[in-house]
Amino acid sequence: MNKSIFGIVLLSLALFGCGQKKDEPTKPVAAKGDVAAGKVLAEKSCQACHGANGGSVAPAIPHLAAQREAYLLASLNEYKTGKRTHAALRDIATQMTEADLHNVAAYFASLPAVASAKAEDVKHTSPYETGKALATSCAKCHGEDGNAKTPGTPTLAGQQPHYLAAAILEYHRDDRKKTSMKSVTLDSDRMDVEKLALFFAAQTPVQRTAPKRGDAVAGEAGSAMCGGCHGARGVSVDSATPSLAGQDAEYLGKATRSYRTTRQNWGMQRYIANLSEKDIDNIVAFYASQQPKAGDQIPSSTQDLAAKCNHCHDQENNPAMTAPKMNGQDKDYLVMALRAYRDGKRESTTMHNMSFPYSNAVIEGLASWYASQPAK
């Protein structure tokens, strides 16, 4: 594909996500601002926080130097209209005329990227690497790569990450009444739990042979009412619903029956209420022998994930692009921005959808990755 067409396609995607009209993107950005006039204004009103060189003076304030002009202008307008909420910025932006906004955006965009000493100090901390280190204490039972070999012990490889994190926390709270698992992860804090979950979710699950007990063919028919939540052939596409494909049969049987006793889940309790013991054995035989697969949306490293983000964020030669540059941006600011999108506190459908599945551990990893990249 022609490079400029590619840029336009991505741009329309990005703009569409911001709720702007679909026919806008192909037009060039509105009148260019006056850099010299923008400089005067910036020195008076912005320098105290955004620095004389456009570099942030404190954590959680974004660098503005070399940022895309269209994005800077759009942000200022969003503060002005209240679409983006920040009391100080709103006051500042409402006092500015349309021309002021254009000029100051042009000025910051024209500055060379700040070679921030702080940015170089930021080390990328990969949640996957941390998770891998923490997972050594699970290897004895769940296998080094999360593929368990002991009957009764579940495979964690390729399992949905939100589900894994929730499951660990259920053991902590003693909701599942298993003292063995309660003690194993008791020391981990919430971030550690998310990192463990991410590591295991990114591992490749291996297929199992059909268990001796149960009839997989009969089980396939019986599984019809499970597939709506657990996915086709037990490969879940929902981050909070576990995959069942290729899971250890003994564990599956125990887990299914536990919804009649210890495990609480309204949906599950209803669905298994009318199953006979034989039905359960058959469904278990079916799921245990299916080909497992890690979810598509689970990247295996921060770099893989960032590659997806860069489709919109790293269009160097496209000044009209509204997705901001992130390389070398202040780390705390990036963390705040991503959490705000995810939690619906900063409006952008595109970015909400992008950040929605990510735990704080993933956000931390992404923010430290971008902050540690040299700004361009």
Q: Which of residues 105-134 bind ligand HEC (CB under 6 A)?
A: none
Considering only residues 162 to 201 of the shown chain, the ones binding ligand HEC according to CB under 6 A are 164, 166-168, 176, 178, 180-181, 184-185, 196
Among 65, 66, 70, 104, binds ligand HEC (CB under 6 A): 104
Residue 57 Cβ vs ligand HEC, minimum distance, rounded to whole Å: 8
Q: What angle do CA 9, 12, 17 make, to 5 degrees?
A: 130
**Quick one: residue 347, left, alpha or beta (phi over 0 = left, psi -120 to 50 = alpha)?**
beta
Which residue lies nearer to ligand HEC by CB, 233 or 346?
346
Which residue lies nearer to ligand HEC by CB, 84 or 233?
84
The DSSP secondary structure of 213-278, one letter per residue, reads SS-HHHHHHHGGGTHHHH-GGG---STTS---TT--HHHHHHHHHHTTTT---HHHHHHHTT--HH
Among 80, 102, 230, 342, binds ligand HEC (CB under 6 A): 230
Q: Which amino acid is at 146?
A: G
Question: Does 308 interact with ligand HEC (rule: CB under 6 A)?
Answer: yes
Residue 85 Cβ vs ligand HEC, minimum distance, rounded to whole Å: 8
Question: Does 302 interact with ligand HEC (rule: CB under 6 A)?
Answer: no
Measured CA to CA, the distance from residue 335 to residue 360 in angstroms comes to 9
Question: Does 342 interact with ligand HEC (rule: CB under 6 A)?
Answer: no
Of 9-17, 23-31, 115-123, 202-210, the segment contacting ligand HEC by CB under 6 A is: 9-17
Of 23-31, 120-128, 140-148, 209-217, the segment contacting ligand HEC by CB under 6 A is: 140-148
Helix, strand or coil, per DSSP, at residue 212: coil
Q: Say if CB 333 and CB 56 are below 8 A apart.
A: yes
Among 348, 359, 368, 373, binds ligand HEC (CB under 6 A): 348
Residue 273 Cβ vs ligand HEC, minimum distance, rounded to whole Å: 9
Site string for ligand HEC, 320-339 (x = CB under 6 A): --xxx-x-------x-xxx-
Of 1-9, 109-117, 123-131, 349-357, the segment contacting ligand HEC by CB under 6 A is: 349-357
Site string for ligand HEC, 237-276 (x = CB under 6 A): ----xx-x------xx-xxx------x-x-xx--xx----
Cα 200 to Cα 147, 204, 251, 287, 328, distances in angstroms = 9, 9, 17, 20, 30
Number of H helices, E strands in the chain: 21, 0
| Closest by CA position to 100, among listed 159, 44, 33 | 33
| Closest by CA position to 133, among listed 195, 203, 206, 202 | 195
Question: Does 278 interact with ligand HEC (rule: CB under 6 A)?
Answer: no
The DSSP secondary structure of 20-71, one letter per residue, reads --TTSTTSPPSS---HHHHHHHHHHHTHHHH-TTS--SSTTSPP-TT--HHH
Which residue lies nearer to ligand HEC by CB, 198 or 336?
336
Count interface residues toward ligand HEC (CB under 6 A).
82
Measured CA to CA, the distance from residue 344 to residue 356 in angstroms comes to 9
Which residue lies nearer to ligand HEC by CB, 36 or 225?
225
Considering only residues 19 to 78 of the shown chain, the ones binding ligand HEC according to CB under 6 A are 45-46, 48-50, 61-62, 64, 72, 74-76
Measured CA to CA, the distance from residue 53 to residue 43 in angstroms comes to 10
Among 66, 235, 288, 351, binds ligand HEC (CB under 6 A): 351
In angstroms, the first-to-last Cα distance of the chain is 25
